[in-house]
Structure 1
């Protein structure tokens, strides 16, 4: 066990950081997680845990705990915006055997990973703001109060505005996509089925699916706009603005939006995938390495894959630089491909020309009738990937 006794600091107690911490601890490392927040609160909203991410949850021994809090996904359904007419249904029950798909609240996944990490002996220290990470032998993290922490390895799982990413790659300006998104949670008192539903309209679309065993519904609604919105999902907006933006939508959309009493709004930005994922005594994972747009629901799944792969590479080689190089080799191209696919996905839902939209929807409907399995197989390269094999 190459990791036995290795001192490792993880910056960030998000999904990727906690998954990595647990996987490293299970292999014998001494792990400390430094988290900016004063408490692990119920933040964020819904996540789609697709088969590739769920395999990591299973390998970490947390599948039963997550299933008890999550909703099992039955299908992905695309609908036209006007009356909610079904265009295409992808039956997730036809995924290959062993490929599960869950809807989970982010807070539930973070909590269970944190509990499992603590139980395994990981030290999670809250209220620890890191202002600088300096690669080296050993690497060093500087806290806002001036304290310095060193270890054999420091992992930057510190998200979109990662301190370590900047140290390894320099500044990487983001570009506004011309899209914003709202996020809300509402009570499921109207019987939303266990499905991802995508209502597609001109210049906008709305996604909904149930959480917490069907008691809540997660809503993410994206709109094209020229105006710039500050990056981040914590900007509170007036629910009336969301309802106005989707006033032309029918089906179940008016019913859902009538229940929104609190909504967050954030601008969607493109960030390049980091060129360098590791340096002397340090490595990146999750959004710190490959921020992605939400149009393939793979952000959390990629972070889970990163955490497991990094732990595995470090465990398989006592040569840490070699292990980190192997980690980047295994992960970067795959993540870059997923990020690119997510970036290119939104336009498919936002067709503005009525004739083009109708033709596209008719084509999708025909494909769904003639070859539904073929449509589902287009995701094999994502869902069929198994970093735990």
Structure 2
């Protein structure tokens, strides 16, 4: 094993949205960041395409939101749960949120990655096609670097840094190496995604349709394209390819009258098919000395809630903000004036990051899990309770405001046990119309 000559302040493992956002936030502090990814190029993935207001606050500060809008990003102002016929049962109206936070933005996942990459400053170096084998530990057990494959003579090599960021996904090797435990739950269904070209006007919002066979989710993409997700059984599409899949897709869409306008767009959709397993995960903690978890390495949710990519961005920004508080004032202005990053400074920032992020993400996980359960549970009790919750929440302005605020990623407004009973109509809500004004 050979020792790498380069020395960095931060090593980021994973160049998805979480890793790129972490590299951007930490690089902007004047820190020397090495961003590593095993893939040689970003892949086109049909998820992580809808940005919530909380994440857009961060991207606006970085100039990334403006870049995405210039490149055709589609603005949306509502997230709607609908009946099969298209009736709006619960509409999250982002126009009622504070000024500057009144909308979502939809764009292709790879375009979001590209925009984040283009915003990286000179302090960030990217190495793609590099496999991270394991975390390096100091004598006291602190994470102090990474072991990379592909050193001189084919051996491994070591890169050292006082801060390592694990942004390597839900199966994170670095999380496991750090001994961080959590609970992963696999949903009893899969999601299949197809991309359509609109024959007429594209959908105007992010709409989830409730059906007897599960979720049907639709939203617009740039260039008059439409993303359609369909819930399937674990083996429902096994062996279905080509014409057989096209027939299955036509039946699945035909069973939802509210989606009748998509029928003419289905003929060429089969070639865009992507199938996803769906899980949720929340780590027991988000740091150990020398290491922080960002994105799906620490937190993963059902795509229906459009929370995963957004909390990855806000978590990356939160990590950078906690470290910025402890750095000398000159560090963010003049990298040459910044002293060497010390382990004690890093670990103090990690403690603050853990204290702030853990309750925030635990709340977001509950919100996302409840939202997914309401629209995907096919068991009779779950369907009855889920439909009641959708209708009762949709008819209660106070609860609707709370759910919208939480889904937007603007900070948790907790739902009390009393609120939960009112959500399913078991108790009246005398405060139903007490909605904060633009707050």
Q: TM-score with structure 2 length normalisation?
A: 0.75
Task: Please tell me whether the aligned partners of residues 289 and 350 of structure 2 are also in contact (alpha carbons under 8 angstroms).
Answer: no
Within 5 Å, give how 1:1-389 maps onto structure 2: 7-45=9-47, 47-69=49-71, 70-81=73-84, 83-99=85-101, 100-117=103-120, 119-136=121-138, 139-145=144-150, 146-169=156-179, 174-212=184-222, 214-223=223-232, 225=233, 238-252=245-259, 255=263, 257-261=266-270, 262-271=272-281, 273-317=282-326, 319-350=345-376, 368=394, 372=397, 375-383=400-408, 385=410
Task: Please tell me whether the aligned partners of residues 201 and 352 of structure 1 are also in contact (alpha carbons under 8 angstroms).
Answer: no
Distance in 2 separating the partners of 1:19 and 1:357: 37
Distance in 2 separating the partners of 1:61 and 1:107: 17
Task: Please tell me whether the aligned partners of residues 80 and 200 of structure 1 are also in contact (alpha carbons under 8 angstroms).
Answer: yes
Cα distance, 1:229 vs structure 2: 9.9
Cross-structure match for 2:427: none
Task: Please tell me whether the aligned partners of residues 138 and 150 of structure 1 are also in contact (alpha carbons under 8 angstroms).
Answer: no
Query: Which of 1 and 2 has higher RCO (CA within 8 Å, sep 6+)?
Result: 1
Report Cα offsets for 1:1-34 as digits up to 9, x if no partner. Answer: xxxx961111111111111111111111011101
Aligned pair count reads: 371
Cα distance, 1:367 vs structure 2: 6.5
Whose Rg is larger?
Answer: 2
Task: Please tell me whether the aligned partners of residues 280 and 321 of structure 1 are also in contact (alpha carbons under 8 angstroms).
Answer: yes
Task: Please tell me whether the aligned partners of residues 292 and 339 of structure 1 are also in contact (alpha carbons under 8 angstroms).
Answer: yes
Cα distance, 1:295 vs structure 2: 2.9
Task: Please tell me whether the aligned partners of residues 46 and 211 of structure 1 are also in contact (alpha carbons under 8 angstroms).
Answer: no
Distance in 2 separating the partners of 1:330 and 1:171: 19
- In structure 2, relative to structure 1, the CA distance for the partners of 1:350 and 1:310 (3 Å cut) is closer
Which structure 2 residue ranges, 5 or more long, are not aligned? 1-6, 151-155, 239-243, 328-344, 413-439
Task: Please tell me whether the aligned partners of residues 155 and 284 of structure 1 are also in contact (alpha carbons under 8 angstroms).
Answer: yes
Cα distance, 1:363 vs structure 2: 8.2
Alignment RMSD (CA, Å): 3.2
- In structure 2, relative to structure 1, the CA distance for the partners of 1:316 and 1:192 (3 Å cut) is same
Once structures 1 and 2 are overlaid, which stretch shifts more, 253-262 or 173-182? 253-262
Report Cα offsets for 1:283-321 as digits up to 9, x if no partner. Answer: 111100112222321101100111111111112125221
Distance in 1 separating the partners of 2:185 and 2:49: 24
Q: TM-score with structure 1 length normalisation?
A: 0.84
- In structure 2, relative to structure 1, the CA distance for the partners of 1:378 and 1:134 (3 Å cut) is same
SS in 1 for 2:119: helix
Once structures 1 and 2 are overlaid, which stretch shifts more, 201-210 or 44-53? 44-53
Report Cα offsets for 1:149-169 as digits up to 9, x if no partner. Answer: 211211111111111110123
Cα distance, 1:79 vs structure 2: 2.1
Distance in 1 separating the partners of 2:381 and 2:314: 41
Which structure 1 residue ranges, 5 or more long, are not aligned? 231-236
Distance in 1 separating the partners of 2:386 and 2:173: 43
Distance in 2 separating the partners of 1:358 and 1:22: 45
